[in-house]
Amino acid sequence: MAMQKKNQFVWKRKHLLGLRNLRPEEIEHILDTAAGFEQISTRSIKKAPTLRGKVVVNLFFEDSTRTRISFALAANRLSADVIDFTKKSSSVSKGETLLDTAKNLEAMGIDTVVIRHSAGGVPKFLSKNISSSVVNAGDGFDEHPTQALLDVYTIRQMRGSLKGLKIAIVGDIAHSRVARSDIWAMTKLGAEVTLVGPPTLMPAAVKQLPVRVSYSLDDIIEELDVINMLRIQFERLGSNPFPSVKEYSHYFGLTVERMKRAKDDIIVMHPGPINRGLEIESEVADGKNSVILQQVKNGLAVRMAVLFLVNQGAAMRQKVKAKSQKRKA
């Protein structure tokens, strides 16, 4: 049934920079495509020839294990050549500028750049300056679109649809690219999203986002269908957004005690890596409601879909361009 929808829709984008500007049907199309790819991972030969001859570069300027490996594996399964480039620095450190790095890679004939960077806007910046497809693997506090896609994919897998579901995203919203992408993806697919966390970790204009805000997890825990726990980012604690981790856990941690008041079938998510015992207790993270590992598994299918689609979008643009050039000639 998913495949039927897919046939009616033509994907045209060459880049995946974020979800904010995507239409709901575009998001659904990625999910449908991912569903098609999911079964490849269950075959004995886990490979499809879809991107044979294409080159994908993983350009990671920030630490990442799961996202980088997931993208590499996704590209491998589609038979693309994959190059990993990890450099924990940026132009601030006065080395080669980002633009120079990207242009050099482009000169070697790269089809797709998967970029992770600590500065928001870098994927957009690259997309304007190089001719390869650009996939955002997380930029600053801006977006992390494939994480949100795998989140909604997982929810859809469990519930069939996000329409009308009550979802809470809990934690450091201000410094979370996952939260931003989740907000766009979940609300576009019809869920009601509530952001939960201390006011000091809410972004400036949170009231203008299409969400509700709550400073009390206890107030809303009972009504939730899905709860997505963000990790405490210790590197942000320097600005002292809350008095102590202990106090934070007390108000915003997902404890066994709190889970007793939640719906029986509440879906518990976490983008990882988990701080066990801080934002989520081990028993909950490993409990029957947790889909944390399912999320990781689905990430692979979603990233295969994204890599496939942006290459398709690039090819389509190439065709249109060639046609118009022919006409001019």
Could you list the residues that contact other proteins (CB under 8 A)?
20, 90-92, 97-99, 117-122, 124-125, 139-143, 177, 180, 203-206, 208-209, 239
Query: Roughly what angle, to the nearest 10 degrees, separates helices 24-38 and 145-159?
Result: 70
To the nearest whole angstrom, how small is the minimum distance from the Cβ of residue 121 to other proteins?
A: 3
To the nearest whole angstrom, how small is the minimum distance from the Cβ of residue 91 to other proteins?
A: 5
Phi, psi of 154 (to 5 degrees): -65, -45
- Rank residues 19 and 292 by Cβ distance to other proteins and give the closer one: 19
To the nearest whole angstrom, how small is the minimum distance from the Cβ of residue 224 to other proteins?
A: 24
- Rank residues 56 and 98 by Cβ distance to other proteins and give the closer one: 98
To the nearest whole angstrom, how small is the minimum distance from the Cβ of residue 97 to other proteins?
A: 6
Residues 27 and 198: their CA atoms lie apart, in Å, by 30
Residues 213 and 204: their CA atoms lie apart, in Å, by 12
CA distances 129 to 30, 58, 68, 101, 122, Å, are 25, 17, 23, 12, 11
Residues 239 and 255: their CA atoms lie apart, in Å, by 26
- Rank residues 206 and 315 by Cβ distance to other proteins and give the closer one: 206
Residues 179 and 184: their CA atoms lie apart, in Å, by 9
- Rank residues 206 and 296 by Cβ distance to other proteins and give the closer one: 206
- Rank residues 129 and 324 by Cβ distance to other proteins and give the closer one: 129
Q: Which two tokens stand for residue 80?
A: 């693309």
Residues 103 and 254: their CA atoms lie apart, in Å, by 45
To the nearest whole angstrom, how small is the minimum distance from the Cβ of residue 99 to other proteins?
A: 5
- Rank residues 211 and 284 by Cβ distance to other proteins and give the closer one: 211
- Rank residues 51 and 211 by Cβ distance to other proteins and give the closer one: 211
To the nearest whole angstrom, how small is the minimum distance from the Cβ of residue 300 to other proteins?
A: 26
Residues 136 and 72: their CA atoms lie apart, in Å, by 14
Q: Which two tokens stand for residue 90?
A: 């940026």
- Rank residues 13 and 177 by Cβ distance to other proteins and give the closer one: 177
CA distances 235 to 10, 43, 63, 175, Å, are 42, 41, 13, 11
To the nearest whole angstrom, how small is the minimum distance from the Cβ of residue 210 to other proteins?
A: 11
- Rank residues 32 and 142 by Cβ distance to other proteins and give the closer one: 142
To the nearest whole angstrom, how small is the minimum distance from the Cβ of residue 139 to other proteins?
A: 8
Distant-in-sequence, close-in-space partners of 8: CB < 8 Å, separation ≥ 6 = none
User: 49: cis peptide before it, omega within 30°?
Assistant: no
3-state secondary structure of 213: strand
To the nearest whole angstrom, how small is the minimum distance from the Cβ of residue 227 to other proteins?
A: 22
Residues 214 and 199: their CA atoms lie apart, in Å, by 9
